A and B are shown apart, each in its own frame.
Chain A
Amino acid sequence: MVNNTDKKSFITPDASVKLSIPEIEESASKHLAPFKASAEHQAALGFPDRLIDNWKDVAIEKLGELSGKYRGLRVYLDSCVNCGACTDKCHYFLGTGDPKNMPVARQNLMRKVYRRYYTFAGRTVPWLVGAEDLTEEVLDDWYTYFNQCSQCRRCSVYCPYGIDTAEVSMAAREIMDTIGVGQKYSNEVIGKVHKLGNNLGLPGPALANTLEGLEEDVLEETGVAVKFPLDQKDADILLVTPSADFFAEPHVDGLIGYAKVLHQAGISWTFSSTASEAANFGLFIGSYDNMQQIASRIKDAALELNVKRIVFGECGHAWRVAYNYLNTLAGPFDFLDPKYPMPQHIVEVTYDLIQQGRLHLDASANDDKRVTFHDSCNIARASGMAGIKGGQLSVPRDVLKTVCNHFYDMRSNTIGEATFCCGGGGGLLTDDLLELRVKGALPRMQALQELHDKHNITHMAAMCAICKSQFAKVLPYYGFEMDQIISVHQLVGDALVMQR
């Protein structure tokens, strides 16, 4: 264990030892519940602004409703045999040792209530099958531990029945929102998207200003007038990107990378001021309605701007929603050019351009870097790319190997479908959960440390806004520098030889 030198009151785990399964330590992360949503944030989403009086009845009824609406949830609640295959798979368990962070134990917090009220065995012999009444203590546990799940789906890879804790935690959050217990970070952000079009609450004029500034920066740096168009009608591509890309580090360097690529390829494109956000936190809180409203903005913007294609920037869960859900939630998109998949990811666009030889890339520009790649959970386990099986894993690597001469992968059981979450996904990227985020990053940090010891890795590339923000924050806790996390498209942009 390494003691932190700064004022934080917790101990950062040691990433220099090999990944091992911790001893269970009851309630080790019980004190890590995120701030609750204020009355105002709740009301903005149409949720009760405080815990309602008959919360127990409403919660139980909602649980029944959801298990009759989502086949996955119902099958997952019924099918678990407590085999324990998932018990050592969650990064939050590996980082905290709290047994309620074992995926099955997390699910069981809901399953025991489901059994009590909705199964024959649970109603007649609750003690035999671990069924329990819904009580205030249980609700507290729900709030704490369903907000300690980043919905990364790693456990579902290893479950013999594919039980996906993400679905269970989404349902739990929806039930809690329904009775007036929301999580501040997610619900506040969703309120901003509905009101201003993006998670950061950046109004249109401010966005225009930011983009102008970026144009000046790139012109100064490269001597080429790369445009960052906003609300430009009849452009070929509507680019929808996480709003962190507009000014957070290292995201913005990725954004510059997208613009350079599209500029070199001579493709006209635009941002939209109303759909200036790829993220869809409706997913995190399990709210189909919110997810659908947020997704619909993108269709409306595409129609209004009369574009031919929709392309998403580097974002994990946004790509999950885009790839798998957008067409269901807001489709059909038959007004777009059928020659291109709907939607496309920016890294697919870059990959295609590389295949066609339309980009002149000089990998030696990145010779000062020794790079590895962090597979973001929602990209690796919940989406696809390029129409090839496992394309979401191979395409970014192919692009990285084209633009970097020194690329190394981390240990195989920590990447690809087995990738570890950054520790900040699923609506947990908030400073009131900092301790959890630091501890949850442990497995990734161990894999990175191990590779670093072998190959002197200088940078870890990622293509998810949450991963980038999370790593920028937690890398220093593990003795790395915050700028060692980098956007895939920063590396592309740096290697790109600007010819016009």
Chain B
Amino acid sequence: MSVVIATLLYLGLGVFVIGCVYWVWRYASIPAPLNMPTMPAPTTRCGVALRILRETVLFESLFKASKWTWIFGWLFHASLLFVVLCHLRFFVDPVWGWVNVISPYSRYAGIVLFFSLAGLLLRRIVIARVRYISVPSDYLMLLMLMCLAGSGLLMRYKYYIDLYTLRNFALGLGSFSFNVLPPSAMLLVHLLMVAVLLLVFPISKLTHAIGVFFSPSRNQRDNTRAKRYVNRWDS
């Protein structure tokens, strides 16, 4: 079993990494013929970096748009990041000090993660406008992440697993040695969902994580009068 799961995880990771590199390369290789930031826009590179930082860390535009979507969306992304960082304790040896500091809080972050996803799902079902634009994959994506978070929480609170064995398995992945997995259906669900998430990332709307950095309305400067903007395909 551990070989099957490990293979799936390698495959997922491979697709994820290659996919992300592909999209970065693809977007970078397409010209942006005209300067069209959404104004008012920063005039310097540094200003653009700050704007994108505010977008990716604080979700500034979403905050302007809809407070509920912002709360659920921001909590989801923030708690996911937090939980993923806490998982480093399975993968690094010896465990970094700061990971030890934050790890105990992952039990709470996991709950936030699950309920923010539930909030996003509820919103998608309840608000007629959002229901109108939703397609099956929008719901499935949320359900998949809820499975991921839910199985993790169940292992944390109810169906305990042997973390020492799990850590051995995880550490082994780095050196292609397939150590045994603790026997747990929850864990299988959890790891399967991780693999699925990694696999669908580059072929789904999840590429927004890359697109946001290439969006001309956010990453261009308001400087056309100071410096002529040249179109790559018009010379």
Contact = CB atoms under 8 A, between A and B. Distances in A.
Contact of B35 (A83, A86, A104, A328): A328
A405 B169 CA distance: 76
B173 to A, nearest CB: 27
Contact of A325 (B34, B40, B123, B128): B34
B224 A85 contact: no
A130 B38 contact: no
Nearest to B39: A381
Interface string B114-131: 000000000110011110
Contact of B69 (A85, A328, A383): A85
Nearest to B43: A389
Interface in A42-74: 67-72, 74
Interface in B174-232: 203-205, 207-208, 211-212, 214-218, 222, 224-225, 228-231
Given A75-B215, A324-B224, A160 B129 contact: no
A492 B62 CA distance: 39
B155 to A, nearest CB: 28
Interface in B37-77: 38-43, 55, 59, 61-62, 64-66, 69, 73
B30 A79 contact: no
Interface string A300-329: 000000000000000000000001110111
Interface stretch (B3-11, B87-95, B134-142): B134-142
A102 B133 contact: yes
B129 A71 contact: no
A161 B218 contact: yes
B38 A156 contact: yes
A75 B135 CA distance: 20
Nearest to B47: A389
B108 interface: no
Nearest to B62: A160
B78 interface: no
Contacts of A81: 138, 205, 208
B205 to A, nearest CB: 5
B27 A75 contact: yes
Nearest to A127: B136
B36 interface: yes
A225 interface: no
A361 B160 CA distance: 80
B15 to A, nearest CB: 11
A24 B132 contact: yes
Interface string A371-403: 000000000111110010110110000000000
Given A80-B205, A86-B65, A72 B215 contact: yes
B204 A129 contact: yes
Interface residues of A, number: 71
Nearest to A343: B225
A87 B214 contact: no
A99 interface: yes
A105 B131 CA distance: 11
B136 A328 contact: no
Nearest to A83: B69
A72 to B, nearest CB: 4
Contact of B228 (A24, A68, A328): A328
B111 interface: no
Contacts of B27: 71, 74-75
Contacts of B166: none
Given A120-B203, A288-B33, A323 B133 contact: no
A223 interface: no
Contacts of B40: 384, 389-390, 392-393, 417
B220 to A, nearest CB: 9
Contacts of A392: 39-40
Nearest to A87: B129
Contacts of A476: none
B136 A128 contact: yes
Interface centre among B31, B35, B133, B216 (most CB of A within 10 A): B133
Contacts of A353: none
B208 A79 contact: yes
B233 interface: yes
A88 interface: yes
A331 interface: yes
Contact of B64 (A68, A130, A157, A393): A157
Given A23-B128, A128-B137, A84 B66 contact: yes
A141 to B, nearest CB: 14
A130 B134 CA distance: 9
Contacts of B203: 119-121
Contacts of A332: 228
Contacts of B137: 121, 128-130
Interface in A404-450: 417-418
A78 interface: yes
A204 interface: no
A457 B66 CA distance: 31
A33 interface: no
Nearest to B120: A83
Question: Closest 4 A-B residue pairs measured CB to CB?
Answer: A79-B211, A130-B135, A162-B217, A158-B65
Interface of B: 23, 26-27, 30-36, 38-43, 55, 59, 61-62, 64-66, 69, 73, 123-124, 127-130, 132-138, 140, 203-205, 207-208, 211-212, 214-218, 222, 224-225, 228-231, 233-234
18 contacts: A70-B30, A70-B33, A72-B36, A78-B208, A79-B205, A82-B205, A102-B133, A120-B203, A121-B203, A159-B61, A160-B59, A161-B211, A161-B215, A164-B36, A323-B225, A331-B228, A381-B38, A384-B40
